[in-house]
Structure 1
Amino acid sequence: MLEITAALSLGAIAWTLTEYLLHRFVFHGRSVRGPGAREHRRHHAQADYFAPAWQKAIAAVAAVSILLPLSSLLIGVTLGAAFTLGFVAMYILYEILHRRAHTHPPRNRYGRWRRKHHFAHHFADPRLAQGVTTPLWDRVFGTRLLVERVRVPRRLAMRWLVDDAGEILDAFAADYLLVGSRRRDEASRGDDAASAMANRQPRD
């Protein structure tokens, strides 16, 4: 039982490393030719855009079809299945946490850290703060990004961050600062897309 628990845990940790490496070297790599990179840059350019679930499902099935037989070959069927299960479970948790960071306000210290860290990545420097679920790999690989307050362009502000008038809620004023105009027209959409494709933070 202890070995199975260890395999599950290692699978979950392996996902967090995979998450970091994919985010840094595929989604924010030099090339934007791959569908993953294009979809992710679009996510940066459009505040409420996420890649379609069917694309993620195809990628997940492909990964499991490689990971399960490979891990079973290396450590046995039972432990290989446990490792793969831990990997997949952490991936699903990542998807939930990532989406909720964009759609729901934080409810605890971890949620507050995760959002501030992630939106510093979005709005301060997309080349840094690549981890979404944990700061571990940003610390290991020297890509931490520490900002006192995240400057959020008004046109890209998360809905949970602002009130009905579009002003920042008092509960989040210590971590975020709204900048620029709320107007989102063809020119601003073009600028945001160009910045995302070039791995630059969006203009104010």
Structure 2
Amino acid sequence: MSSTNQSFKPNNTGTKKLFDNPILEKLTHTHISVPIALLLAYAAGLIIWSTSRTSISSSLITSIYFIGLLFFTFAEYTLHRYVYHMKPSSDTKKKIQYTFHGVHHEYPKDKSRLAMPPILSLTISTVLLGFFHLIMGEYSFSFLAGFLTGYALYLFMHYILHAYPPPKNFFKKLWIYHSIHHYKDETIYYGVSSPLWDFVFGTIEKRKKEA
């Protein structure tokens, strides 16, 4: 197994101040229910718009919605692996990486930092809507709805994995995988809402073969 790249020991409790500006610092904290509710409302609005303002059939809207949901799991994996765990080549990149994700690895039990600030989430969602619309036109509404639903589910599962002890249901495997990523080896198990892409790209725990 590859060794962890973390340069700090994770703390189970507490938080850390990131900005001297009190407004910026406050924006880095949010209750998990706020972004989840906003994302699901945004997704619902996109579905309503797609069904009432476009000529796309309901069956196709549903299919595109689930494609968007699946695409989110790939985006989640890619972002987590290559952006959140990038190897900083400068002090600026190191600070950005720490602010975006390093602080979460250092304080994994900080419940108020398990999601991006709601304002940032809504801004990125709107930028994505414009980007997807340029690529796929009217299909972008149901595609982004699925994508945002995937993000909301990710936030929900990520919160459960950090805020509660190992569950006695199907979430237990995800809890184990994510705990390995945090406390044993941060170079594996990048998928949080799904281990699918970890299996596809081989970023799973390598167990030694018994002799």
Matches for 1:91-102 after TM superposition, within 5 Å: 91-102=151-162
Question: Could you tell me whether the CA contact under 8 Å between 1:72 and 1:80 is conserved in 2?
Answer: yes
Alpha-carbon distance between aligned partners in 2 of 1:132 and 1:23, rounded to the nearest angstrom:
9
Alpha-carbon distance between aligned partners in 1 of 2:184 and 2:115, rounded to the nearest angstrom:
30
Alpha-carbon distance between aligned partners in 1 of 2:141 and 2:171, rounded to the nearest angstrom:
30
1:126 paired to 2:126: no
Deviations 1:35-68 (A, max 9, x none): 3543421111124225647843244223222221
The 1:44/1:53 distance shift into structure 2, 3 A limit, reads: closer
TM-score normalised over the length of structure 2: 0.61
Q: 1:38 aligns with which of 99, 117, 127?
A: 99
Matches for 1:140-179 after TM superposition, within 5 Å: 140-145=200-205
Deviations 1:113-143 (A, max 9, x none): 0100000101111011100011111011110
Q: How many residues align?
A: 147
SS at 1:33's partner residue? helix
1:69 paired to 2:126: no
Deviations 1:96-126 (A, max 9, x none): 1101111123445421101000001011110
What 5-or-longer segments of structure 2 have no aligned partner?
Answer: 1-57
Question: Could you tell me whether the CA contact under 8 Å between 2:189 and 2:198 is conserved in 1?
Answer: yes
Question: Could you tell me whether the CA contact under 8 Å between 1:94 and 1:132 is conserved in 2?
Answer: yes
Residue identity in the other structure for 1:61? L
**Which residue of the partner structure matches residue 82 of structure 2?**
25
Alpha-carbon distance between aligned partners in 2 of 1:13 and 1:42, rounded to the nearest angstrom:
28
Residue identity in the other structure for 1:28? H
RMSD: 2.4
The 1:54/1:127 distance shift into structure 2, 3 A limit, reads: closer
**Which residue of the partner structure matches residue 49 of structure 1?**
110
Deviations 1:60-85 (A, max 9, x none): 223222221232233332x2111111
Higher RCO (CA-CA < 8 Å; seq separation 6+): 2
